[in-house]
A and B are shown apart, each in its own frame.
Chain A
């Protein structure tokens, strides 16, 4: 990789991609620096261990580099990259499905408190967000990969069904069906957790 002259201090994505495709692979670093915070935020929704998060982000960039020629400039580079990110995270979920089994006895004191306070009579506001987030992470860990992906995109990232269809490559009806099943799956897990807590 030869060092390239920095002619433009803030080149567009299309310019950088053209330079990389022309053989200046070192310019890919511009794209890495530009999008790595966004990808880390996304990857942390699917993996809890920091080394796994880093591996996911690295894999996304390596895939993006090898498939850079398939990007058409008629759509924003970020959308193309996010589609790749979602697919990589989904692959990660599928390959790590067996390792993500937890018992409800794994709940920390904070998470147990959260359930105690909200299970009998859920009230809005005044709850510990961190405990809720880790509790949600444990619930999500028990979901099937498609259910987890759709709950994350739909409920946590607040994306529309159409956006999810574009990101995942699933049809709109399939996203709706999977969202319905995912909510039912999540309720079942919550019911099980809450009942185990009070038995």
Chain B
């Protein structure tokens, strides 16, 4: 028994006989009715989806910010641990604020 040829013959015969593309009468009305029903049932679905997307994006940005902050702890700690640097950074604006006043007198 030649199964290869049997398979080829079977597929050739099936290929020659294409399924019908006939559409039942009024099928488009059925689809549109179902769509209308779905839209009516949940008019806020788009808003809800948009809010969820916004919430997810906000969460992702917050996580990213935390991750960046944790990955570079030195930048913050150095300023706090170095007294001179801290004093310079702290005093600079005050000194700068005094300068224009001296100029005025």
Contacts and interface: CB of A to CB of B under 8 A. Distances in A.
| Interface size band for B | 20 to 34
Interface of A: 1, 25-26, 28-29, 32-33, 36-38, 40-41, 44-45, 50, 54, 57-58, 61-62, 65, 118-124, 127-130, 132-133, 135-137, 139, 155-156, 158, 183, 186-187, 190-191, 194-195
Contacts, number: 111
A139 B6 CA distance: 12
Nearest to B36: A1
B27 A25 contact: no
A69 to B, nearest CB: 9
Name B's interface SS. helix
A152 to B, nearest CB: 10
A40 B20 contact: yes
A36 B6 CA distance: 34
Contacts of A28: 32, 35
A190 B3 contact: yes
Contacts of A130: 17
B13 interface: yes
A64 to B, nearest CB: 10
